[in-house]
Amino acid sequence: MIILSGASIISLGIFCTILSGTIWGKSDINIDKEELYLNDLPLQLDGIKIVQLSDIHLGSCNKNPQLLIRTQKLIDKIQPDFLMFTGDLVNNFGKEILEFEPYLKALSAKYGKYAIVGNHDYGDYSNWHDSISKLKNRVLIQTKLTKSGFNILLNKWTKVSIKDTSIYIIGVENWGHPPFPQYARLDLATDSLPKNSFKILLSHDPAYWESKVVTETDIPLTLSGHTHGGQFGIKIAGIEFSPLYLYQKKWGGLYKYENQYLYVNRGLGSIGFWGRIDMRPEITVLTLHRTKSH
């Protein structure tokens, strides 16, 4: 009887946890703030503020804009200098964006909005009648992002002038360990970049950072998403852990190798399991500072 009662209590606890994650967990937005000190940051850029969003997955919003409305209100209070979106706007189809265009347009930042595409934005997870249909779907997604005010960086860079200095934002297409396709071309994305320029890289899958960025570049800051933090986490004594760690070590938060940083956003939306259990939707706020020793 004691064993049966204990099992019932445990089962009820698991059920309530899943129910909570499904109903409330996917809408309770967390703002994760990080202060980064970078050696090569120009003095004029000290204190610059970046908001990162990732993995919105509009197809899982059931045409309900509330998540984007809350996101916009929070970003308006933050008043960022830059807004960076690191991919997976949709689950598969460009038509998923149609209900949400006004809310994407309403997102704003002082020096602009920049985006890359994620693995779900290629339409690789659907059976298409022909390659033209798949291409049209991808073009639709990118067109809608552009019309919403985002500068899409597909294996290329752009320069933003601030005061009397510049920041260079680089974007690569998706690249991940198999079975994920590898579309990224860092050589193209960094072609003709001025030497000694301050650079930020947008790369959807964090696997690219260890495989290519830290081994081949001096890029000080890379922003990624893709993992969703597994949409499930455990906190013990204030330390957050995701079982996804067993598969992907860089699953969420800030990582560093020598003088290079990676931030992995835990995602705003959900896919697969339409909920989040102790892994809240995330808006990241990164404030950049020049290293104090300068």
Q: Where do the structural domains in the chain lie, given as residue ranges? A: 2-290
Task: Give a three-class secondary structure readout of 198-240.
Answer: CEEEECCCCHHHHHHHHHHCCCCEEEECCCHHHHECEEECCEE
Tens digits of residue pLDDT in 155-212? 999 999 998 999 999 999 999 888 888 999 999 999 999 988 999 999 999 999 999 9
Contact 268, 71 (CB under 8 A): yes
Q: Can you give the pLDDT at residue 2?
A: 53
Q: Can you give the pLDDT at residue 1?
A: 53
Q: Can you give the pLDDT at residue 75?
A: 98
Task: Report whether pLDDT(127) > 50.
Answer: yes
Q: Can you give the pLDDT at residue 178?
A: 82
> ∠ at Cα 132 (129, 137), nearest 5°?
90
Please state the pTM of the whole predicted model. Answer: 0.90
User: What residues pair up with 160 in beta bridges, in sequence order?
Assistant: 167
* Per-residue pLDDT band at 21 (split at 50, 70, 90): very low
Q: Can you give the pLDDT at residue 26?
A: 59
d(CA 179, CA 77) in angstroms, rounded, equals 40
Share of the chain above pLDDT 90, in %: 79
- Which CATH fold topology does 2-290 show? Purple Acid Phosphatase; chain A, domain 2 (3.60.21)
Q: Can you give the pLDDT at residue 251?
A: 92
* Per-residue pLDDT band at 240 (split at 50, 70, 90): confident
* Per-residue pLDDT band at 19 (split at 50, 70, 90): very low
Share of the chain above pLDDT 70, in %: 89
Sign of CA dihedral 286, 198, 255, 72: positive
Tens digits of residue pLDDT in 29-55? 999 999 999 998 999 999 999 999 999
Q: What's at 130, amino acid-wise?
A: D
Tens digits of residue pLDDT in 103-124? 999 999 999 999 999 999 999 9
Mean pLDDT rounded to a whole number for the chain:
90
